Amino acid sequence: MSRGAVDLHSHTTASDGTLSPRELVLAAAQHGVTVLAVTDHDSTDGLAAAMALAPTHRMTIVPGLEINCDVEGAEIHVLGYFVDHEAAWFQDFLREQRAERIARVHRIAERLTELGMPIEPAEVFAVCKEGSPGRPHVAQVMVARGYVKSVREAFDKYLKQGGAANVPRRRLSPVEAVQVIRKAHGVPVFAHPGLADRDAII
């Protein structure tokens, strides 16, 4: 494999990314990336397409995912690299995680209705299609409805931690996330620690 850039944290439309797996690989190749980790939230659905296309561009795909975790007063994310993503138990785990995400969308929609900004959960699911639904998709619907001018405004005013429309969902603890990743023979990594303000967890 020739030397090139490495990107170890990326998302596709299988979660909250804007590019399909194919588009992501093509964009990465254009920027000289030779090693790309596909780390969607609670989903490995983008891996097959990315791994099928990558050899054409002399690129290695690292199979991964990102798990949102709860800690006291904050949320952190744990990345899992080289996971055995085809294991049946692992896919069952991911389906459970996505089911909780779907339930959360319904709860957020109810909260927004109470705040005078009704949205339909179906609108959110239409945005994320078959992907793993989350607050970014809710924010896009809020923009489309004219309630806010941008996704950033939706988060700053309503969807951020402690925001008026934010509804917590059941998440794993960091320890539980690490245990799941290790069970899947993966390598757990603390995602973007500089943004978490929780250095003691390391």
pLDDT digits (tens, 9 = 90+) for 2-61: 578 999 999 999 998 999 999 999 999 999 999 999 999 999 999 999 999 999 999 999
Spell out the domains of the chain, with CATH numbers in brackets. 5-201 (1.10.150.650)
Q: Which two tokens stand for residue 140?
A: 């896009």
Burial code of 151-180, b = ≥16 C-beta within 10 A, e = fewer? beebbeebbeeebebbbebebbebeebbeb
pLDDT digits (tens, 9 = 90+) for 105-156: 999 999 999 999 999 999 999 998 878 899 999 999 999 999 999 999 999 9
- As to burial, measured by CB atoms within 10 angstroms (0-12 exposed, 13-18 middle, 19+ buried), residue 58 is exposed
Main-chain phi, psi angles of 67, to 5 degrees: -115, 125
